[in-house]
Structure 1
Amino acid sequence: MNSCSNKWLSVTYFTECLGCFLSFLMNAIFLSLLFKKQKTPFGNYQYLMAAFSGIGMFYSLCSFSIKPNFYVTENYFIIFTVFNNLILPKSLGSISLAIYGSCYAMMLFLITIQFYYRFTSVSDPVSLACRFSLKALAFWALLVILFSGLFGSLSYILYGPNVNKDSQLSQDFLKTYCLYSDEYVYIGPQYSFHNMENKRIYHILSIGGICITAIMMWATFLIVVYFIYRIYKVMAERGLPFYASKKLQRQLFKTLILQSLIPIMCMYIPLTFMFVFSMFGVGSGSVANLISMFAAIYPSLDPLLAMLCIKSMKARIKNIICCSRNRRVQIDVVDTDYVDMRVVYALQDISVRNGDAVA
C-alpha cells in the first residue's frame, strides 16, 4: 500500500494545463500574424491554417476539461480520468473520455487533410478551387465528423466498464495511484482475463474493436507518408512544377518534413508503442501517460514551428522583438523568396476566384 503514488497523475495534470495555455497563446499569436497585412499574401490558404489553429485550440480545451490519463498492462489499455480533475459533470465521465478519443482521432484526420492540401497546392494548384472551395467545406466537415464520431463511438460502446475490468483495475489503481474505485472513471479495451479456473479467456469484442481503431489510426499515417513522398517527387522534378524557385522548393520541403515529425512524434509514436506493448503482453503501467502528455503539447508546437518557418512571420516577430529601425528597414527589402511566394499564392487565388469555371 505504501508503494502507491500519484506522481504520474500530477505530472500529467500539469502538462495538460500547460499545454492548453501554450496552445491558446501560440495559436492566438499565429492567428494575429496570419491576418495582419503581409508582403507575402497567403491567399485562401490562410483560412485553412486558421481552421487548423481553431481546431487545435478546441482539442486543447477538450484535453484540459477531461484531463485524460492512460494505464497499459498486458491485459488492457485504459483511458481514465480522476473525478477531482474532471471539469464536466461526473455523470458524463465515460462519455467525456469517448469524446476525447473522438478529438484525438479528429486531429489525426485533420493532419491528413492538411497534407492533401499541400500536395494539391504543389502538384496542381488550379484544382484547389474544386477540392477546397466553400462548396466542398460541407464534404470535408462530414468526413471529419464521420471519422472522429466512429472512433469515439467504438470506444464508448466496445470499451465501457465491466465486472472483470472493475475488479482488476480497482486493485491496480489502488496499488499504483492510491485511487479507490469511486474516485475515477475509465474506458478501454480488455484483451483477456482469467476465469475461476485461472484459464486465460480472450475478449474477442475488445480485440476486434482495437483492430478497427488501430487500422483507422494507421490509415491516416500511411496516407500522410504517401503525400510526403508524392510532394518530394514533385519537388525533385525538373522545371518549376509548382511555379516556385528551387530555393523555395527546398525551404518548403524542409518545413514540410519538420511539420511532419511533430505529429508523428507527439501523436502516432507514443500511442503506437503502448498499443504494441499491450498487445504483445508487455505492460507499461503509468508510463503510458506519456500519450496524453505529448498529445497535450502538440497543438502548441504546430503553430510555433509555422511561425519559425514562414519567413514573413519570422521577420515580423524579429521586428517586434528587436524594435530597431535598421532592422525594420532591412526587413522591408523584398527578396526573391517573397516574389516566388506571391506567384504561388496568386495562382491559388486565381484558381479559387475562377472555381466555377474550373469545375
Structure 2
Amino acid sequence: MFLIIRKSPKQLGSYKYLMIYMSCFESIYSIIDFIVSPIMFSYESIMVVMIYKNNSIFFSDWVLLILNGVYCAFFGASMGMFGIQFIYRYFVSTGSKHLKTFNGFRIFFWILIPIFVGSIWGSICYFILSPSDEINQRINNQLMLTFGWEIQEITYVGAYFYQLQPDGSYKIGWNSVIGVTIAWIIILSSLCVIFYFGIKCYLNLRQVMRIKQQQNNSSRNFKNLQSQLFNALVTQTTIPVILMHFPLSTVILFTFLDKDLGTLSGVSSITIALFPALDPLPSMFIIQNYRKFIFGFFKITKVKSIKIPLN
C-alpha cells in the first residue's frame, strides 16, 4: 500500500484505487484467516470447512459459525476481484468509453461487485451449508480417527452430497447440491471473465506494440506501463488459480465423486492462506517504479549496514 500511494506512476490513474482496495481486502482476509484458522476436510461425499474450538480465542458456536461464514465470504469476494481488474485493463488498452465508469463515484459500482459476490458465497455457507445432524453422525468417528477430536469440539460449514440412510440406501442432499452449484457458477463466471477480457487485452496490446515510430516518448511510456500492468495482472491471477481455484475445485470434485481425500484436503487450507501474502509480489517486482524503489531501498540498507574498521 505504501508503494501504491507514494511510488505509483502518474499514468496509473484510477487503477491505483483498485490496487489499494485489493491490498486492504487481502490484509483483512489475512487477519480473518488467522483468527478462524480454518481446516478443510473431506470424507466420502462430505466436505467441511471446520474450526477447532480449542485453537480459537472464541468459544461460542454461533460466533465461530459467523466467522466461518465471513471467511467463506471473503473467499467468494476474491472471485469477483480478479475479473474487475482484467475488465479495467481491457478498457484502458482499448481506450473504451466505458473507462469513465471507473472515475469518480462510479467506481463504487465496481467495488460493490466483489462485496455482492462475497455476500452470496457467505450466505450459502451460513444458511445452506450449515451444520446438520446427518454430517455430525457420519464424520464423528472419522474425526476421532484422523484428528482425535469429538464432533462437539469443532464448528463447521459443509456439504453432504449422498446421505446414507438407516436402511442402507442413499438420499441426495439437495441443499448441498444447490449450494455448491451456485459456488461453481461463481467460480466459472470469474474464470470466464478473466480469460475473455485477458485474451482480448493481450491481443490488443500486441497490436499496439507493433505500431512503429509514430508515437512520442510519452505515448510509448504509457504503452510500456500498460504492458507491465498486464504482465503483473496475469501473474497475479495465476497465483490464486493455483492456490485457490484448483485446490478447492479438486476437493469439491473428489467429494462429488464420493472419493474422499482425507487429510490431503487440508492442503487447500494452507494454499488458500498463502494467497494474500504472495498475490502482491508480481506488482511489486514487475511494475518498474515499485521495483526500482525496492531494489534501491535494500541497496541503501546494505550500504548503511557496512561497518568501516577504524585504525
Judge same fold: TM > 0.5, yes or no: yes
Query: Which residue of the other structure, out of 178, 186, 211, is the alignment partner of 1:239?
Result: 211
- Structure 1 position 167 matched with structure 2 position 137: yes
The Cα shift of 1:185 comes to 0.8
1:59 and 2:36 aligned: no
Which residue number corresponds to residue 348 of structure 1? none
Task: State the TM-score, normalized to the length of structure 1.
Answer: 0.76
Q: 1:236 to 1:71 in 2, by over 3 A?
A: same
> In percent, how many aligned pairs have the same letter?
24
Tell me which amino acid in the other structure corresponds to 2:298. I
1:255-266 alignment, distance < 5 Å: 255-266=232-243
2:176 is aligned with 1:206? yes
Could you tell me which of 62, 65, 78 is aligned with 1:107? 78
Per-residue deviation, 1:38: 6.0
State yes or no: 1:120 paired with 2:91. Answer: yes
**Cα root mean square deviation, aligned:** 2.5
1:186 CA drift (Å): 1.0
Q: What is the correspondence of 1:25-174 to structure 2 with a 5 Å cutoff?
A: 31-36=1-6, 42-91=12-61, 92-124=63-95, 127-128=98-99, 130-174=100-144
Matching residue of 1:181: 151
Query: Counterpart in 2 of 1:314?
Result: 291
Matched AA of 2:253: V
- Confirm or deny: 8 A CA contact 1:109 1:147 kept in the other structure: yes
Structure 1, unpaired ranges of 5+: 1-30, 327-359
Asked if the contact 2:51–2:156 (Cα under 8 Å) also holds between the matched residues in 1, the reply is: yes
- Distance in 2 (CA, whole Å) between partners of 1:188 and 1:38 is 42
Check 1:324–1:210 CA distance in 2 against 1; reply closer, same or farther (3 A cut).
Answer: closer
| Letter matched to residue 122 of structure 2 | G
Q: CA deviation at 1:100?
A: 1.0
Deviation at 1:310, TM superposition (A): 1.0
CA contact (8 A) 1:63 1:100 kept: yes
Structure 1 residue aligned with 2:195, among 192, 212, 225? 225
* Deviation of 1:41 (Å): 5.4
Maintained 8 Å contact 1:82/1:185:
yes
Matched residue type, 2:60: K
Q: Is the 8 A contact 1:66 1:87 kept in 2?
A: no
Could you say what secondary structure the match of 2:13 adopts?
coil
Q: 1:225 to 1:307 in 2, by over 3 A?
A: same
Query: 1:76·1:189 contact (CA, 8 Å) conserved in 2?
Result: yes
Q: Residue 255 of structure 1: CA displacement? A: 2.8
Deviations 1:286-330 (A, max 9, x none): 11112221111111112122111111111111111112999xxxx
Letter in 1 for 2:136: D
Contact 1:63 1:296 in 2 (8 A): yes
Q: In the TM superposition, what is the alpha-carbon distance from 1:74 to its structure 2 partner?
A: 2.6
> Where in structure 2 are the equivalents of 1:277-292 lying within 5 Å?
277-292=254-269
Q: Are residues 43 and 139 of structure 1, via their aligned partners in 2, closer, same or farther at CA, if it must alter by over 3 Å?
A: closer
2:229–2:283 contact (8 Å) kept in structure 1: no
The answer for the alignment partner of 1:24 in structure 2 is none
In the TM superposition, what whole-angstrom CA distance separates every residue of 1:250-302 from its partner, at most 9, and x where no partner exists?
A: 54543333222111111111111111111112111111112221111111112
Greater displacement, 283-292 / 243-252? 243-252
Amino acid at match of 1:108: M
CA distance in 2 between counterparts of 1:291 and 1:255 reads: 24
Partners of 2:301 and 2:162 in 1: CA distance: 65
- Tell me, yes or no, if the aligned pair for 1:66 and 1:88 is still in contact at 8 Å: no
Higher relative contact order (CA 8 A, sep 6+): 1
Cα 1:236/1:288, change in 2 over 3 Å: same
Distance in 1 (CA, whole Å) between partners of 2:233 and 2:8 is 22
- One-letter amino acid of the counterpart of residue 301, structure 1: L
Q: Is the 8 A contact 1:40 1:312 kept in 2?
A: no
Q: Is the 8 A contact 1:112 1:223 kept in 2?
A: yes
